[in-house]
Amino acid sequence: MSTEAPGVLAAIRWPRPFAGLQGLTLADVPREVSAGVTLAALMIPLNIGYAQVAGLPPVAGLYAAIIPLAVFALLTSSRHLVTSPDASMAGLVGAALVAFAAPGEPLRLQYALALALICGLLFFVFWAFRLAFLANFLSRAVMAGFITGLGVEVFTNQVRKILAAPHAAEAASGVLAAAERLRDAMATSVNTEGYFVEVLALIDSVPRANLYSVAIGVSAFLIVRLLKRYAPRIPGALVALVLLTAAVAVFDLPAKGVGVLGAIPSGAPTLTLPSIPVSDYLRLLPSAFAIVAILLCEGLLVVRSYSNKYGYKADGDQMLFAWGAANLAAGFTGSFLTGNSPSRSAAMDASGAKSQLPSLVAAGTIAVVLLFFTDLLAFLPNAALAGIVANAVLSLIEVHEFRELWRMRRSEFWIAAVCLLSVLALGPLRAVLIAFLLSTVDVIRRASNPVTATLVEAPDGSHFVPFDAAQASGLSGLVVYRFGAPLYFANATLFLNDVERLIAQAPAPVRWFVLDAQAMVDIDTTGAGALRQAMALLAKGKVTFVVSRADRAFRSWLEKYDLMEHIDPDRFYPTNRHAAAAFRAEAANVAVRERRGDS
C-alpha cells in the first residue's frame, strides 16, 4: 500500500474507479452475490444498533448501507474492506454530538449529517495532499488502548439497554441516594464524559431491570455467539432477530415493558442538506479531525493486512478519496457517518468474497427492504439489537493485545492503559489528542535514548563488537564509538555526555576517537552544535577525531554546518577495521620516530 510522504505541490493522482472489482470472474459471481445477501443480513441489525448507540434514528444507519456503501465500493482500491458504521465510530460520533443535541432529538440528526460532510471534505484534503502516511503515526499500543476503551464504553451502554430499567423518580434507599450524590460529584469533576457515571447508573438500575428484556437481550447475545462458533456461515444476527421478534409478537412482550424499534419511514434515501447554523460547522471541526484520524489509522491498517494476505496493492491515498466520497454521500442522503468495519470485512473474507461486489449487492438488498419491508422492522426488540451490538463490540476489547504488550514491552502496555482510561474518564475525543501526544512522546523518548556502544575488535580481527565502555576505552589509545540514531535536539546532550565520559574515564590517554556514523543520517542545528562542542573537546585534549562508515548524507550535513573544516579529509574511513588499521600504522610510525630520537 502506498503511504509515501507528499510534497506540498505533488501532482494529484486521480483514483481508478472499479479497482475493488479487479480480479472478479464470471465464475465468482454466484459466490459474491450470496456473500452480498449475507452482508445485508449482517448490516441491517448492526447499522440500526450503531445508529442507536450514536443517538440517531435507525433509518440513518440503514441509509448508510445504500448510497454511501455503493459509492465506496466503486471508488475504493481495497477488494476486501467493507465500509459501514461500527462500534468505535458510533462512540466517537455520539461523543461529538453531546454538546449539540440530546439523543433522539431531530436536531441531532442534522448535526450528524453536517459532521459527515465535514469528515468527507477532510478526507478529500488528506487525499489531495497524499497524507495516507499519517497512519504510521499511531502505534499498536495507542490503537489497542483507544479501541478497547471505546469497546468497553459501548458494551456498557448496551447492557443498560438490555436491562431496560425505568428511570427512578428518586432514590429509594440510602444506598441509592449515596450513589446519586456520587454520580453528581463525578459528573462535575475533572470534565469527565460520564462513563463512570454510567457504570453507577447501571448498578443502580439492576434491581429495576425488566426480566423479559434481559431474557431477549441475553438470548440474542448467546444465539450470535453460538452460531458464530458452530455455524459461522449462518448470519447469527439475522437469525436472532427473526426468532426474538417472533417471540415478542407471540407473547405480546411490548405490553410487559419490552421496547421495540417502532415505525421506520419507507422509501429510498433522498437528497437532503443539514439545517444548522454555519458557525456550528466550525464547532464540529475538531471532532471531525479526531474521527478522520481514527478512521484513517484503523482503516489503513485493515486495508494493509488484506492486501498483504492476498497479494495485491491497495493505494492508501485512493482509500482516503473513497472515504471522502462515501461520507459526502452520507451527509447528502440522511445517512450515518461511515467508516470501516473490520468485523463485516472479516465476515466477507470468511465467506470467500474477493471483491467489492458483495457490498453492491448488499446495498441493493437493503434498498429493497426499505422500499417494501419496513413494517417488519418496526417490531424488532431493542434489547435484541443491544445484544447483537454487545456481541459485536466484544471484538474491540483487545485483552490479548494487552497481555502481549505486558509480556513483550511494559512501556507500551502502560501507554495502552493510559489511552484506555482516557477514553473512559475524559471521553473519546479528548482521548484522541492524548493518543497522539503519547505517540509523539514515545517516539521522542526512544529517539532520545538511542543504542550507543563502545566497540572493540573481535578476537579474529574481522569486525568490531560492542563492549563495556569502562573496560574497553583507551586501553590502546583508540576509542571507537557508535551512535545509533540521527543526531538532533532530543539526543544531542546524550551524545556530548558520552564523548566527555569516554575521554575522561579512559584508563589510558586517548589518541584517536573514531565516530561510527552509519546511523547518523540526519543532524539538526542542535545536534550540529553538540558535534562542534565534541570536536573542540577532543582538539583541546589533543585527540584526533576520526569518522568511519559515514554515508553521503552525513558528509553533506557536515558541509552544511561548516564542520568539515574541523576534520582532516584523510580521517574518513569506510569501516572501523580500516580506521583501526590506520591507527595502528600511525602508532607504529610514532614508535619508530621515538626510537630514532632516543638513539
- Give the separation between CA 531 and CA 73, rounded to whole angstroms: 54
Our measurement of the distance from residue 373's CA atom to the centroid of its chain's CA atoms, rounded to an integer in Å, reads 38
CB 57 within 8 A of CB 396: no
CB 119 within 8 A of CB 416: no
pLDDT of 591 strictly over 80:
no
Percent of the chain with pLDDT over 90: 43
Place of cell 620516530: 593
Mean pLDDT of 395-412: 88
d(CA 459, CA 461): 5
Per-residue pLDDT, 376: 83
Distance between CA 454 and CA 464 in Å, rounded?
A: 9
Per-residue pLDDT band at 233 (split at 50, 70, 90): confident
pLDDT of amino acid 11 = 55
pLDDT band at 198; cut points 50, 70, 90: confident
Comparison of pLDDT for 478 and 599, the residue scoring more: 478
Q: According to the model, what pLDDT value does residue 167 have?
A: 54
User: CB within 8 A of 547, min separation 6: which ones?
Assistant: 514, 515, 517, 554, 567, 571, 572, 573
How far is 362 from 354, CA to CA, in rounded Å? 15
For all residues of the chain together, what is the average pLDDT? Answer: 85
DSSP β-bridge partners for residue 548: 516, 573
Can you tell me which residue has the cell 483487545? 398
pLDDT given for residue 599 in this prediction: 52
Contact 66, 269 (CB under 8 A): yes
Q: Which three cell numbers stand for residue 545?
A: 577525531
Residue 594 has pLDDT above 90, yes or no: no
**pLDDT confidence of 403, banded at 50, 70, 90?**
very high
Q: What angle do helix axes 87-97 and 428-448 make, rounded to 10 degrees? A: 110
Grid cell at residue 510: 586517548
In tens, the pLDDT along 363-389 reads 999 999 999 988 888 888 999 988 988
Paired residues of 545 in beta bridges: 513
Distance (Å, whole) CA 376 – CA 44? 12
pLDDT digits (tens, 9 = 90+) for 100-130: 998 889 899 999 999 999 999 999 999 988 8
- b (16+ CB within 10 A) / e for 275-289: ebeeeebeebeebbb
Provide the pLDDT for residue 437.
83
The Cα-based distances of 372 to 266, 267, 439 in angstroms read 7, 8, 49
Q: Quick one: pLDDT at residue 2?
A: 45
Residues 345-362: what's their mean pLDDT? 89
Rounded distance between C-alpha atoms, residue 139 and residue 438, angstroms: 9
Mean pLDDT, residues 576-582 = 92
Q: What is the mean pLDDT of residues 554-579?
A: 92
CA distance 105 to 110: 10
For residues 45 and 382, the answer to whether their CB atoms sit within 8 Å is no
Mean pLDDT, range 562-585, rounded to an integer? 92
The grid cell for 214 is 434481559
C-alpha distances (whole Å) from 310 to each of 21, 24, 313, 417 are 14, 13, 9, 33
Lowest mean pLDDT among 84-88, 132-136, 197-201: 132-136
Where residue 597 falls among pLDDT bands split at 50, 70, 90? Answer: low
Question: Which comes out higher in pLDDT, residue 356 or 9?
Answer: 356
**Do the strands 544-548 and 464-467 form a parallel or antiparallel pair, or are they unpaired?**
unpaired
Q: What is the pLDDT at residue 448? A: 84
Q: How far apart are the first and last CA of the chain?
A: 72
- In this structure, are residues 465 and 498 in contact, taking their beta carbons and an 8 Å threshold? no
Angstrom distance (rounded) from CA 390 to CA 550: 56
Residue 468 has pLDDT above 60, yes or no: no
pLDDT in tens, 31-85: 999 889 989 988 998 899 999 989 999 999 999 999 999 999 999 999 999 999 9
Provide the pLDDT for residue 179: 47
**Statement: residue 322 has pLDDT above 90:** yes
- Report pLDDT digits (tens) over 285-321: 999 988 998 888 888 878 887 888 888 888 888 999 9
- Is a pLDDT exceeding 60 seen at residue 189? no
Residue in the structure block whose three cell numbers are 439545517: 275
Element (H or E) spanning 438, and its range?
Answer: helix 428-448
- pTM of the model as a whole: 0.73
C-alpha cell at 70: 455503493
For the chain, domains (ranges, CATH) are 33-164+209-266+286-443 (no CATH), 452-598 (3.30.750.24)
> Does the pLDDT at position 546 exceed 90?
yes
Contact between 291 and 93 (Cβ < 8 Å): yes
Residue with the three cell numbers 456550528: 280
pLDDT band at 578 (very low <50, low <70, confident <90, very high): very high
